[in-house]
Amino acid sequence: MGSDVHFDITGTAFAISEDGVCVTNYHVLKDIIRPNENDVEDSAYFIMTVDKKIYFIDDLLAYSQNNDIAVFKVNTQGDRLSPIPLGKPAPVGAPVFCISHPASIFIISAKA
């Protein structure tokens, strides 16, 4: 037997600070926010960077089910994450785009 580890990807998250603060959707973390008492499946929640480094969730900082958002912190073990750049607030009514896929299909965009 090999030492392969298999897991199901449940969603995406984005680092918003170098020290491990990340944001995702509430529905991605709903099972740790409001655990189902009948669920007997083992699970571990973590993020994996594009270079396949894994960091486990340390703390849930804030969440809103109504707004489908959750903010959490991962243990970076001293590493620095590359946060997404946060810009100026968008004006009311401005278009907003989100890239995601419910079947765990990765969508990568790169400039030519």
Query: How confident is the model over 69-95, as pLDDT tens digits?
Result: 999 999 999 999 999 887 888 889 888
| Band of pLDDT at residue 103, cut at 50, 70 and 90 | low
Domain that holds residue 38: 9-82+91-112
Q: Radius of gyration over alpha carbons of the chain, in Å?
A: 16
Q: Is 44 contained in some domain?
A: yes
Number of domains in the chain: 1
Task: Indicate whether 3 belongs to any domain.
Answer: no
- 96 in a domain, yes or no? yes
Whether 2 is in a domain gets the answer no
Q: What is the CATH number of the domain that holds 44?
A: 2.40.10
Q: pLDDT of 22-58, one tens digit each?
A: 999 998 888 888 877 655 455 678 888 888 899 999 9
What three-state secondary structure class fits 71? strand
Q: Is residue 101 part of a domain?
A: yes
pTM above 0.75, yes or no: no
**Are 56 and 75 in contact, with CB atoms under 8 Å apart?**
yes
d(CA 12, CA 28): 8
